[in-house]
Structure 1
Amino acid sequence: MPADIPPFPPGQDPDQTISYRTPRPQPPNDAHTRQWPYPEELGPTVAPPAAPAKRGRGWIIALVAAVLVGVVGGGGVWAASMLSGGGTQPHEVLPGNAVAYVRLDLDPAANQKIALFNIARKFSATKESFAGDDPRKALFETMRKDAGEFTELDYAKDVEPWLGDRIGAAVLPPAQDGAEPGMVVAVQVKDEEAALAGIAKLDSTPERTKTGVAFREGYAIIADTQEEADRYARATPLSENERFTGDLDALGEPGVLSFWADLGAIAKVAGTEQDPDTMDLVRNARFTGALRFGDDYAELTGFARGMDVKTTETEPVKLGELPATTAGAAGISGLGDIVRDQWAKLQKAADAAGSGGRSLTESGAEYGLTLPDDLVTLLGKSITVAVDGEGLNGDQPNGGVVLRTDPAKAREVLAKLEASAAGSGVAPQLVKVDGDGKLVVATSQDYANKLSGQGTLADSETFQLAMPGAEDATFGLYADLDKIESLYLDGLRGEERANAEVLRAVGLSGRASADNAGFTLRVLFN
């Protein structure tokens, strides 16, 4: 489902020509009156497994549950007639000079709806909510309950008759120097007259400053003033901004939630032009991303393109070469080059932050290190930290570090650190094993030997699903939650334990190069 990190060709400036599109009445749409089907009406459901017991992952559960409830809380799978996910998107009606844009779609593509439904059915926090209610109502009621908003309104009478399934918001450049950035919201509507009345009831501002509302292609364009709303409704849309559309095409499936930002334009608004180094870095940069779902995972993916970073190409971090028994790992490549190339700036930043009058070089000398050379040697081409699933409950778990660097030089640097540690009375017992272009440092001889060989973690189905593009990733983080559940599961009971059992793994993989960077964060479910 996630698109590969794109080649990021530079975009072109958007066409600023203003065109006017006459608002037109929207025909009645019976599809907006929903009768939610049972999952069997849409095909086989992925039933939650009986689950061998698993533990603690509380913050992940809270995050996933919040997304599931917040995005579609209270709604089952959309009616079969609504599975296309087609129609006008907010970026087709919002102004093309936007510097940032976010979209929430309660009518995404069919694969997103079904995947989200099946995942939500796995958690007790969301399982009962998916019983047949309108997801828009769930959002409205959540706002009413949590924020104390709209307490005098009745959803069925004041909101449901006009509210559509999509909403988008855009941040606009200030109208003049020194002014605040503008904000405009596009809400999909089914009935313009009912929408005007409903929005008026939602508007709590004084009569003299009532919110402005205009209509464009089935959306209410909402702004601070009527003059602004009318102007935004006539503007060339964001869908004709070539930089935006190029980034959106590269993103692929936009999922339930998507976002875009012109980092260079935002930097100008923030006054970053006074910092030439930062401005050079982001002048043509944009960031694009999406929240989307697969059969057994939730995914947040994003990429930046158009950056101007003067760095050498880095090789993959190769987490897939770790042992198949790996429970968790994190790795990054290219840090050695970054430290060497950016040492002067790092020193300057450290001085600005305050270092007791000592430079980084002087601080390193206290530990017997010659900086930056020794640090560059240790970081090398890449550094990977790993913990094994075997022996995890023992007195000394199997952990280690793989340094892809010159083994002999790295041993010399480590000897300096060990001598310094011995002098302070702290001397950890670590085992070192040379490999092919790497040095392995581990807590035991057996695990050091294991790490120094060619592992087969890449063959694991869990790893493959959690780490898309791992073979080319220059940074990554992986945790097989099923392998570490013994560390926390016994402390959980009831629903909390059952929810924890659903979580299978977490993976973060991505690649950074001279002018672009991309990542994918996935949470897998049993």
Structure 2
Amino acid sequence: MMSSNLPPSAAPEPEGSQAEYLEQGSGAPLPPAAAPARNLRPFVIGGVAVAGLAVAGGAAWAAMSFFSTGSQPAEALPGSTLAYLAVDLDPSGGQKIEAIRTLNKFPAFKDELDLDTDDDIMKRLFDEIQADAECANLDYEDDIASWLGNRAGVAVVDAEPTVVGAIQVTDAEAAEAGLEKLRNCGANGDASEPAPADAEMGFAVEGDWAVVAETDDIAARVLADGAEGSLADDSAYQTWTERAGDPGIVTVYVAADAADALVDNLDRFFGSAEDLGGLVIEQSAYDDGTVSSEGDVTVAGEQVPDDTAETMESLFEGFDGMAATLRFSDGAIELEQAGSFGSQFQLLYASDRGADAMTTLPSDTVAAFGVGFEEGWLRALAEQFAQQFGDLMGEDMTVDDMFEELSTQTGLDIPQDVETLTGESMVFALGPDFSPEQFMSSGDGSDVPMGVKIKGDAEGIEEVLDKLRDLAGTDADIIGSESADGFVAISPSDDFRAALLEDGGLGDTAAFKDVIREAEQAGAVFYVDFDAGDDWLVELSGDDPEAKANLAPLSAVGGSTWTEGDVIHAVLRLTTDD
């Protein structure tokens, strides 16, 4: 059955069976995203109340839910979909337990929301939003919960990008009636008053899915294209979502063709040529800029070349797709991503030494950021920059010319001295007694537990540091350094410098191992321990007992990136105390 007209919103109907811990069947889809430019007219209308309900419901249930192997919105969308975001609001019982156990550690969730496992959270949200922006003659049970399923997605389809929404429905006939009422709400604020015939928004329902789009025809075509070959069956989609790890509550996918579509439709995403020209003038230092009717930009009497498309093409050159997943995992909230972004991005993560120096930091380190470096990294980065943004360097300037000029200005031998200084692995670290107030009030930094540790050619690094101290003059004490066993520690604090130089075993701590994935092959790593230094994060909340109680469960946050062939992986984890 196909039908027409209008957007989705809030709240599912229970599907009859309950998970072993948390009742399933409550939740709402995320609404379709707004069109990316002013000539892509919005097509999702359900009124402020309905839109708010969808967003709030999706967020609340995404927080309480985990993945379930059931029908997904990708099954209703065409295989040519350019970008896709889906929320699964009906995860399996065991994964729901993992989510609820994690979230119940926070009083704001457990006590203040006052939710039982069998509460219909969507009914609660619907009532609250209706109180703020009421839609007349709209009944939750009859008009929403009677048809809305537990999974929804937002997608960009077609070479000329069009945003659509795909929503699981439990009753096609009821969905048609409910969507019609929501359309009326958006147009008139009254579900019983028909929307104008020229309202440029529509929907189509077929089987277990409704698609919402700008027009009925677009929605129907998307469903038909999905039936012929769905995104779920597309090999690229399958490959990238598998690379993003175990499925979770949110799935994101961007196809390789999305980059070309973005470049081909720059005016639809960023405005007209005149708008872009005006932006150039606005951000320049000149007052006498002009933009012609064709969008040609003249600043200080010189025409500015329109190389926006070329720059974007260069930026996305080599992009071959990506996917990401948000999930609950072992008492943590985890975001995992995998993508092929081209050599210009891969260069930044090519090393597998990002954690080499970090793992030797003191075990009570509060925060650290580490990066690994391959030989010749600075020259490679400069050559890549010159290839993409050569105009900024000047027409006749080469990379060698740029290095020579920088060397003359600084007294350093560039790029050799810079690459020697960074070593194989470098980490910036904060000790357990660090505080922003201490940092701001310190005169010379000698009392601030802050510094850098480098793994590399210690003798060569010290020689470069001597050059920097000569340049610093009277401020040379800030670059105090010590070296031992192939490491150099740099800090204005004698005590912290000595602590940095020791092998403190941070990499062997439970908090580090729990929060950092693939440390042995990571190109870049960051780490923050919320429990270090007598629970410094809790102390930052001052005398607010509510804030203290909700910050106390947090243990650590960290992220790591690594490469496998031409694929860049990244994992971000936020862990909680047991």
TM over 0.5: yes
Structure 1, residues 330-377: CA drift from partner, whole Å, max 9, x if none? Answer: 10112764322122444688886699x996754564443233332222
Does 2:230 match 1:237? Answer: yes
Does 2:196 match 1:159? Answer: no
- Alignment-derived partner of residue 525 in structure 1: 576
- Alignment-derived partner of residue 403 in structure 1: 454
Q: Report 1:11-410 matches (<5 A).
A: 31-32=14-15, 71=58, 73=60, 85-128=68-111, 129=113, 130-131=115-116, 132-137=118-123, 140=126, 148=133, 153-174=138-159, 180-203=160-183, 204=186, 206-209=196-199, 211-235=201-225, 236-271=229-264, 274-275=309-310, 278-279=313-314, 282-305=317-340, 307-309=342-344, 311=347, 313-317=350-354, 318=356, 319-334=358-373, 337-346=376-385, 362=405, 365-389=408-432, 396-410=447-461
Does 2:466 match 1:427? Answer: no
- Distance (Å, rounded) in 1 between the aligned partners of 2:340 and 2:200: 39
Does 2:536 match 1:486? Answer: yes
Match for 1:237: what amino acid? S
Structure 1, residues 435-455: CA drift from partner, whole Å, max 9, x if none? Answer: 343322134444434433433
- Alignment-derived partner of residue 302 in structure 2: none
- Distance (Å, rounded) in 2 between the aligned partners of 1:303 and 1:76: 22
Contact 2:259 2:316 in 1 (8 A): no
Sort the Cα spacing of 1:93 and 1:496 in 2 relative to 1 into closer, same or farther, 3 A.
Answer: same
- Alignment-derived partner of residue 40 in structure 2: none
Match of 2:477, SS state, is coil
Contact 2:557 2:573 in 1 (8 A): yes
The offset of 1:103, in angstroms, is 0.3
Match of 1:403, SS state, is strand
The offset of 1:200, in angstroms, is 1.0
Match for 1:314: what amino acid? S
Contact 1:93 1:217 in 2 (8 A): no
Structure 1, residues 157-186: CA drift from partner, whole Å, max 9, x if none? Answer: 321111111001210133xxxxx5112211
Q: Report 1:498-509 matches (<5 A).
A: 498-509=549-560
Match of 1:285, SS state, is strand
- Distance (Å, rounded) in 1 between the aligned partners of 2:125 and 2:219: 25
- Distance (Å, rounded) in 2 between the aligned partners of 1:381 and 1:150: 62
Contact 2:149 2:167 in 1 (8 A): yes
Match of 1:104, SS state, is strand
Relative contact order (alpha carbons < 8 A, sep ≥ 6): 1 or 2 greater?
Answer: 1
Sort the Cα spacing of 1:247 and 1:38 in 2 relative to 1 into closer, same or farther, 3 A.
Answer: closer
The offset of 1:460, in angstroms, is 1.2
Work out the number of aligned pairs and report it: 463
Match for 1:486: what amino acid? W
TM-score by length of 2: 0.70
Match of 2:531, SS state, is helix
- Which deviates the most, 202-211 or 233-242? 202-211
- CA RMSD between the two structures: 3.8
Structure 1, residues 130-189: CA drift from partner, whole Å, max 9, x if none? Answer: 32432444565677678x585763322321111111001210133xxxxx5112211011
The offset of 1:34, in angstroms, is 7.4
- Which deviates the most, 439-448 or 114-123? 439-448
Match for 2:412: what amino acid? L
Point out where structure 2 has 5 or more consecutive residues left out of the alignment. Answer: 3-11, 25-54, 188-195, 267-307
Match for 1:440: what amino acid? A
- Which deviates the most, 112-121 or 209-218? 209-218
- Distance (Å, rounded) in 2 between the aligned partners of 1:344 and 1:74: 47
- Distance (Å, rounded) in 1 between the aligned partners of 2:563 and 2:383: 22
Structure 1, residues 39-94: CA drift from partner, whole Å, max 9, x if none? Answer: 7x99xxxxxxxxxxxxxxxxxxxxxxxxx97546389978xxxx992321111111
Sort the Cα spacing of 1:457 and 1:158 in 2 relative to 1 into closer, same or farther, 3 A.
Answer: same
Contact 2:524 2:560 in 1 (8 A): yes
Which of 516, 519, 524 aligns to 2:567? It is 516
The offset of 1:474, in angstroms, is 1.3
- Distance (Å, rounded) in 2 between the aligned partners of 1:331 and 1:142: 46
**% identity of equivalent residues:** 28
Point out where structure 1 has 5 or more consecutive residues left out of the alignment. Answer: 1-21, 24-28, 43-67, 175-179
Match for 2:554: what amino acid? L
Sort the Cα spacing of 1:118 and 1:69 in 2 relative to 1 into closer, same or farther, 3 A.
Answer: farther
Sort the Cα spacing of 1:77 and 1:306 in 2 relative to 1 into closer, same or farther, 3 A.
Answer: closer
Q: Report 1:430-445 matches (<5 A).
A: 430-445=479-494
TM-score by length of 1: 0.76
The offset of 1:95, in angstroms, is 1.0
- Alignment-derived partner of residue 7 in structure 2: none
